[in-house]
Structure formats: C-alpha cells, structure tokens
Amino acid sequence: MAFNSVLRRASKSFLPLAIRTVGSPRTFQRAIPTVLFVENRTTLRNFLPFSHFSTAATSEKPIADDNLIRALETEIDCAEEPQDVEDIPNEFPFKIEDNPGERTISLNRKFQDETIKIEVDMPNVSIDVEDTDDNTKDADVSSIPLVVSISKGSGQYMEFGITAFPDEITIDSLSIKNPENSDELAYAGPDFNDLDENLQNAFHKHLEIRGIKPSTTNVLFDYMANKDNKEYLLWLKNLKNFVEK
C-alpha cells in the first residue's frame, strides 16, 4: 500500500491531467509510454513550423512564372483570332489536308492516270527590294515554297521545287526520283534556269494544265497567312498550359 501511495504521488508530478484521472494501476502502467510519446511529440512540434515553412516555400510557383503567364495571356488576347473557315473557291482543283500543329499543308488530286501531291510551307516575306535606280526601298514581297510531286503508279516520280509569288510561279529545281532509291549522290539534273528557254516554258505549261498556276497559288497566300495565325495562337496556348502545370 505504501508503495502504491508513492507511485500515485509521483504520477501527480509529471502526468498530464487526463492521465491523472485514470483509476487503476494497470491503466497507469499503460499510460506511461503514452506520456513519453506525448512529451516527445511536444518536443518535436517545436521544430515543425520551420520544416513546414520550408516545404511550403518550395512548392509555390516562382513570381517569374506568374509574370510569364500574365504576359502570355496578354499576347493571347492581342493575337488576331483566325477564321475557322477559309474562303476556298469551288474551282480550286486540290483537296487540302491541314493538321493543327504542323507548319505545312498537303494538297492532292488525281489527273488522268497521275497522282499529284503538293507540300505547301509557310509564306516568306522579304522587305528589302531594289528599284530600277538601285535604291533600296521597303516593300512586302511574299512567296510560298512548294514541293510538287507527280507520280504514275508506284514507280518513279517527277519532283519540282517551286516558289510561288503573287501572280507568278518560278521553278527552282526539277528531278526524277525513285522511292526505292534514296541515294543522295544521284544526279539531280542541271539548274532549271540553265535549261533552254523553250524547255522551261514547256515545263511551266506542263504544271499549269495540272492546276499548278497563279490562280491556284494565290488562294494559298490567304490560306497560309490564316494558318500562320492559327499556329501562333495554338503555340501561345500550349506554352501557357505548360507553364501553368
């Protein structure tokens, strides 16, 4: 009995109020580890605020990222909203394949026993043009690079490298290619401008009757300008979505 009395007096000196209300010695014995655990948690809690603050600081998005997001949002608001449907004339001879996110479009058609495919790239704009007095003046001269392939079946095909200007088409290169032979050392023919003038004109006529002519390429200037706006707007939105993650 005396020993139990000593224990009860000792327990009052260090046990919390909740433990002091426990009645039986067995409950008291189970409570001692609990007291030690509570005291340890109290000691550790003194260090938790600093640790918690450090974790929170690293999880927050940097101010520079917030500024970048706002700048992107401003540019998106300022970007011209492209048209959803381009005005393509009914007499346009090619079917257009346009995939969002790609810088080129593809045109294709059948002409008699031939398959004609054209890859159209984004317009190029040059502003430095020399006039007749050799003086440089500012003028917007747009051009569109085209690669035209004309095939008959699955064998060889003829490939033209073309630059389309408003109301004019120039042929830059001409070659015969074999899909089964990709040898880069194969002879590609002379420079097109070195060919006889009559032969050059005949090739221009060859393309014209297949639909590769200024009335066709002029439609592409508006189409590709609108596509350029679309791709730029999509690019901005993709950047903003990535930074926001």
**8 A C-beta contact, residue 188 and residue 172:** no
**8 A C-beta contact, residue 105 and residue 228:** no
Band (pLDDT 50/70/90 cuts) for residue 7 is very low
What pLDDT, in 10s, does the model give residues 49-91?
A: 444 444 444 567 788 888 999 999 999 988 877 666 567 888 9
- Residue 111 sits at φ, ψ, to 5 deg, of -135, 105
Span 6-22, average pLDDT: 44
Within this chain, do residues 85 and 139 fall inside the same structural domain, yes or no? yes
Provide the pLDDT for residue 62. Answer: 86
Q: Kindly report the average pLDDT of the chain as a whole number.
A: 78
Within this chain, do residues 235 and 175 fall inside the same structural domain, yes or no? yes
Within this chain, do residues 35 and 88 fall inside the same structural domain, yes or no? no
Provide the pLDDT for residue 81. Answer: 73
| 116 has pLDDT over 90 | yes
Domain CATH code at residue 93: 3.10.280.10
Residue 73 belongs to a domain: no
Provide the pLDDT for residue 48. Answer: 45
> What 3 state SS string does 58-124 have?
HHCCCHHHHHHHHHHHHHHHHCCCCCCCCCCCCCCCCEEECCCCCCCEEEEEEECCEEEEEEECCCE
Within this chain, do residues 51 and 93 fall inside the same structural domain, yes or no? no
Residue 175 belongs to a domain: yes
What pLDDT, in 10s, does the model give residues 188-212?
A: 788 999 999 999 999 999 999 999 9
- Give the C-alpha separation, 204 to 212, whole Å: 9
**8 A C-beta contact, residue 90 and residue 117:** no
Higher pLDDT, 45 or 93: 93
Provide the pLDDT for residue 12. Answer: 46
Residue 221 belongs to a domain: yes
Pairing of strands 124-130, 136-151: antiparallel
Domain boundaries, position 21: 2-59
Within this chain, do residues 211 and 99 fall inside the same structural domain, yes or no? yes
Pairing of strands 95-97, 114-120: unpaired
pTM: 0.67
What pLDDT, in 10s, does the model give residues 138-187?
A: 556 799 999 999 999 878 899 999 999 999 999 999 999 887 766 666 77
In the block, which residue shows the tokens 């043009």? 129
Residue 145 belongs to a domain: yes
Provide the pLDDT for residue 11. Answer: 46
| 122 has pLDDT over 90 | yes
- Residue 170 sits at φ, ψ, to 5 deg, of -120, 140
